[in-house]
Amino acid sequence: MRIDPLPPRTLSAAEFADWLQSADAGERLTYWRGHLALDASALVSQLRGDDRIRLCSVSRLAWDMAQKGWIHLLQQRHGANDFSYVAVMRPRQRNAVAVQASAPSKVAA
């Protein structure tokens, strides 16, 4: 499996949302590398406050979008406490209104 390189800094939720809007099916985004649970924790994280808050926002958005069926979430282990967290865009579902508009209408007998 090919994993995209680590982003040079913590992505913002807005940058992640921009990727969600523009990504094609199958496109991948590595949104974090490290140990997400430890890095997002206020007690043990070694990230600066702003970076930790950004990481929490992005990871929450990624989880929400996975629950809604927009993306798949993957992780790849590189070593102890070293993982890549990857979002993979799923095929977009057709709009229900467009599906209804294109369905043949039934003619009453």
When the pLDDT of each residue in the chain is averaged and rounded to a whole number, the result is: 83
Residue 106: pLDDT above 70?
no
Q: Which residues contact 11 (CB under 8 A, 6 or more apart)?
A: 31, 32, 54, 58
Alpha carbon distance 107, 109 (integer Å): 6
* Banded model confidence at residue 98, pLDDT cuts 50, 70, 90: very low
In total, how many domains does the chain have?
A: 1
Domain around 40: 13-102
Is residue 80 in a domain? yes
Long-range contacts of range 93-100, CB-CB < 8 Å, 24 or more positions apart? 93/69
For 49-59, the pLDDT digits (tens) are 899 999 999 99
Nearest CA among 23, 16, 22 for reference residue 55? 16
Q: Tell me the CATH number at 24.
A: 3.30.1370
The residue whose two tokens read 């890549």 is 84
Is residue 50 in a domain? yes
6/46: higher pLDDT: 46
